[in-house]
Amino acid sequence: MSVESTARRPVAVTPIPSLMTGSRHASRERASPGAHQACAGKGRQAGIPATRCALDAVSIQTAVPYIPLHVQYMTRVPPQKKIQRLLAVSNVFTPGSPIKEIDLFSGRMDQIIKLAGAIRQDGQHAAIYGERGVGKTSLANVLADAVNAFQHTATKANIRCARVNCNTEDTFRTLWKGILKKLDIHPEDHEVTVPLVVDELENRSTKTLIIIDEFDRLRDQTAISLMADTIKALSDTPTSSTVILVGVGDSIAELIGDHRSVERAMTQVNMPRMSSGELRQLIQKGVSRLEMTISQAALSRLAWFSEGLPFYAHLLSLHATSSAVQDDRNEVSDGDVQHAVNQAVDKSQHSIIGDYAAAIRSQRKDNKFAAVLLACALCEKDDLGYFPPRAVQYPLEFILNNTVQMSAYSRHLNEFCTDEHHNVLQKAGVDRKPIYRFDNPIIQPYVILRALAEKRLTEDALASFKPRPDPTLFDRLPPL
């Protein structure tokens, strides 16, 4: 971690679901493909009719929708229409891919205003950074689309846009060769240097927007330094080109290194998690596009369970709307949300399921890894997702319904940071004052959804959970 976080404000913990009821393995009792009859028995879920229960087993997959043939024989809506509706659902809710269409894009007004300011101002560039999966590429996509559309308006403002993705093998040359090619400039490999890039962009009469996504994947330190030099040179030269770097990171310095003079030339566009309002808008837009409706309760719960990550809003909405379509209903209801939670847990990426399993693995049956990890998912965090061990105490007492000393779980926190537990947490700070955060932010909501699906946590308990007010929790955190 190269940057100091000075402003650590507690992030309001979203109220969360209730504890320890029912079978821990309830989710495994659900119907498996081909076992439709079993649905009439104990595997049947509350509020979901038997016919639907059979369909649960074949609900569409996240990335590549699979529409089972026997859907055709089990439903009232003409099969072709139903298949079309299911396909439409997976076109609208796309947890696996960034937004490409501005009409399905929600919120992020502050970030758009900052980026528009950087594009307008000659010599200014920008960096979009934030947690994984928070919506950086989607923002860059809609910005590129808007800029391209702007060319054709009455103002005749002419902005060209080139978008590229970095990969781990890229060098300064390969990267800029790709960008220049998109601008119809074709230098030889050896010619691609900082002065050439600046020259080419300086000589253009048109305004140029260059978006470089996944910049954090660039491994070549020379390429990163040369990129900093290029941006500095571009900002010192009267070119009307804007470079926007996009990548995972807590700060601009994490993306481009400690180049203070470049930082001044770059507008910092931090992407925090989405607010509840933004998530509701995202879900509502998708539901309306599908010409469906959603109850207020279902909408709130989908937004609530997404924990600020648009990835989960898409994933849960995909399953909830599919559930309603499978039932020939037009309104997404509470039962569909319950179904979506179970599906999201069962059909999550293998890497998430694997990381979770490794994180809570232990030889001892009475171990507390799952409970401590859930407490970490529920506890108060600062703006960068960090929490001190003390923050875990209250949620853990809430989960275990018992008083707990910090010494009872500090070992677990440290073990979560080992290879054996797939480094589900990362540790920062100093030895005597450690702080932790989820290494992959996508795991944190999964831990909560998993507890809900397994009925170790009930929704009522989640809703009633309020972190104990502790104004000093983030006061004396060690530097990163």
Ligand X SMILES: Nc1ncnc2c1ncn2[C@@H]1O[C@H](COP(=O)(O)OP(=O)(O)OP(=O)(O)O)[C@@H](O)[C@H]1O
Residues that bind ligand X in the complex, under the rule CB under 6 A: 94-95, 98-99, 104-108, 132-138, 248, 282, 310-311, 314
Pick 136 or 232: Cβ nearer ligand X: 136
- The helix (run of H) or strand (run of E) holding residue 243 is strand 241-248
Partner interacting with residue 132 (select from Mg ion, ligand X, none; CB below 5-8 Å by kind): ligand X
Is there binding between residue 137 and Mg ion (CB under 5 A)? yes
Q: How far is the CB of 64 from Mg ion (least distance, A)?
A: 20
For ligand X, give the closer residue by CB, 135 or 335.
135
Pick one of ligand X, Mg ion, none as the site partner of residue 447 (Cβ within 5 to 8 A by kind): none
Contacted by 467, from Mg ion, ligand X, none: CB < 5 to 8 Å by type: none
DSSP string, 91-114: HH--TTS----GGG----HHHHHH
In the complex, the smallest distance separating the C-beta of residue 137 from ligand X, rounded to whole angstroms, is: 3
Bridge partners of 125?
A: 266
- For residue 94, the partner it binds in ligand X, Mg ion, none, with Cβ less than 5 to 8 A by kind, is ligand X
By CB under 5 A, what part of segment 203-222 binds Mg ion?
A: none
Q: Residue 121 carries which DSSP code?
A: S
Q: How far is the CB of 253 from ligand X (least distance, A)?
A: 18
Which partner, Mg ion, ligand X, none, binds residue 52 by CB below 5 to 8 Å per kind? none
Which of 108/421 has CB closer to ligand X?
Answer: 108
Residue with smallest beta-carbon separation from ligand X: 135
Q: Which is nearer to ligand X, 105 or 176 (CB)?
A: 105
Shortest Å, Cβ 179 to Mg ion: 18
DSSP letter at 308? T
Q: Facing residues of 294 across strands?
A: 332
Smallest gap from residue 371 Cβ to ligand X (A): 29
Q: What is the rounded CA–CA span in Å between residue 78 and residue 72?
A: 7
Question: Which of 79-98 are b and which e, b meaning 16 or more Cβ less than 10 Å from the residue's Cβ?
Answer: eeebbebbebbbebbbbeeb
Closer CB to ligand X, 97 or 206, in the complex: 97
Q: How far apart are CA 123 and CA 478, in angstroms?
A: 37
Distances (CA, A) of 451 to 120, 177, 378, 379: 48, 48, 11, 15
Residue 131 Cβ vs ligand X, minimum distance, rounded to whole Å: 7
Instruction: Find the shortest distance in angstroms from Cβ 177 to Mg ion.
Output: 22
Considering only residues 305 through 344, tell me which ones interact with Mg ion, judged by CB under 5 A.
none
CB of 341 to ligand X, least distance (A): 18
The residue (of 90 and 106) whose beta carbon lies closer to ligand X is 106
Q: What's the distance, CA 145 to chain centroid?
A: 22
Report the first-to-last Cα separation within the chain, whole angstroms. Answer: 6
Indicate whether 393 belongs to the interface with Mg ion (CB under 5 A).
Answer: no
Residue 138 contacts Mg ion per CB under 5 A: no
Q: Which does 125 bind (CB under 5 to 8 A by kind): Mg ion, ligand X, none?
A: none
Q: Residue 314 binds what, of Mg ion, ligand X, none (CB under 5 to 8 Å, by partner type)?
A: ligand X
Nearer to ligand X among residue 94 and residue 333 (C-beta): 94
Q: Which amino acid is at 5?
A: S
Question: Is 451 in contact with 22 (CB distance < 8 Å)?
Answer: no
Q: Cβ 214 to Mg ion, closest distance in Å? A: 6
Site string for Mg ion, 87-126 (x = CB under 5 A): ----------------------------------------
**For ligand X, which is the closer residue by CB, 27 or 306?**
306
Residue 314: C-alpha distances to residues 10, 235, 320, 321 (Å) = 26, 38, 10, 10
- 185/313 with CB nearer ligand X: 313
Q: Are strands 425-430 and 433-438 parallel, antiparallel or unpaired?
A: antiparallel
Give φ, ψ of 23 to 5 degrees.
-80, 140
Q: How far is the CB of 101 from Mg ion (least distance, A)?
A: 16
DSSP track, 202-224 = HT-SSEEEEEEE-GGG---HHHH
Burial of 46 (0-12, 13-18, 19+ CB in 10 A): exposed
Q: Does residue number 59 form part of the binding site for Mg ion (CB under 5 A)?
A: no
Q: Single out the segment in contact with Mg ion by CB under 5 A; choices: 135-143, 193-201, 447-455, 472-480.
A: 135-143
User: Environment class of residue 149 by beta-carbon count within 10 Å: exposed (0-12), middle (13-18) or buried (19+)?
Assistant: exposed
* Signed CA dihedral, 301, 302, 305, 310: sign only: negative
Residues 182, 164: contact at Cβ < 8 Å?
Answer: yes
Min dist CB 440 to ligand X, Å, is 10
Q: Pick the closer one to Mg ion by CB: 170 or 459.
A: 170
| Tokens 């990129």 sit on residue | 227
Q: Which does 105 bind (CB under 5 to 8 A by kind): Mg ion, ligand X, none?
A: ligand X
Q: What is the β-pairing status of strands 293-294 and 331-332? A: parallel
Residue closer to ligand X, measured from CB, 27 or 106: 106
Q: Are 164 and 179 in contact (CB under 8 A)?
A: yes
**Partners of 381 in beta bridges:** 11
Binding-site ranges for Mg ion (CB under 5 A): 137
